[in-house]
Amino acid sequence: HRAPGGGGPPGGGGFFGGGGGGPGWGGGGGGNSMALTGGGYGSITPAEAAEAPEAASAAPSELARRIKDLSGLLLCTPGEAIAVAHRFPAILETPRSVLAARMASLKELLPNADAAVLLRAEPRALLAGDGAEIMRAAQRSVDTIKTELPGVSADKLVEMEPRMLFEDIGEGLAALRELWPEEAFRTSERENPFFAEELALAIKALNGKGSETPRR
């Protein structure tokens, strides 16, 4: 995914623009915020426009308004909202009620996690498809974490690595249990403020490797 400040596709011009000079999801600099200048942090690509044609053809002022609304709902800066729109353009055409409902479902599933952080990190996985099925899959992942790592906060772990909600991490969790006794998890959770971050990295490293110890 293109990071904020990135340019558009090489060559090209006109609507899609090259080198970041074309219109972007921020409204092409039509907003009041500096975050909305420079074509909205990278030009809208043809693939993005195909995914959200109505938003892509909207007036710059309308795009800027949508980004402002999105940033308010996701509790982030306009620049961060633009980055989300590049990752999942259809979010700009998703009704606010749907976004709010998905965040409410996430909060119900993970009450101590920041639902806005999760949605900003994985907008496509959380919005593209049947909402009930998406949340059922997320529930299964959370249940797996709680079963394999009793005493560890699933909320903190998922907030640190939201992709865990949508990937099969069973192997990584089982491998970690073989390498680290349950009491060690409980002690580390209490004593180490960075434990969730370290644990997330360990699970990613072990996932798909069974009980094999990671190479140093």
pLDDT tens for residues 175-190?
A: 777 777 666 666 555 6
Collapse the DSSP code of 211 into the 3-class scheme (helix H, G, I; strand E, B; otherwise coil) and give the result: coil
Which range (3-7, 25-29, 77-81, 131-135) has the least confidence?
Answer: 3-7
Q: What is the mean pLDDT of residues 58-81?
A: 93
Q: What is the mean pLDDT of residues 1-10?
A: 35
Contacting residues for 140 by C-beta, under 8 A, at least 6 apart: none
Q: Which of 84, 103, 97, 82 is nearest to 30 (CA)?
A: 82
C-alpha–C-alpha distance, residues 92 and 111, integer Å:
26
Quick check: pTM over 0.85?
no
Q: In the structure, what pLDDT confidence band is assigned to residue 3 with cuts at 50, 70 and 90?
A: very low
Q: What is the mean pLDDT of residues 30-39?
A: 37
C-alpha–C-alpha distance, residues 191 and 186, integer Å:
9
Q: Where do the DSSP E strands lie in the chain?
A: none
Query: Using an 8 Å Cβ cutoff, are 124 and 88 in contact?
Result: yes
pLDDT tens for residues 94-126?
A: 999 999 999 999 999 999 999 999 999 999 999
Contacting residues for 28 by C-beta, under 8 A, at least 6 apart: 22, 39, 40, 60, 63
Q: Which of 172, 161, 163 is nearest to 198 (CA)?
A: 161
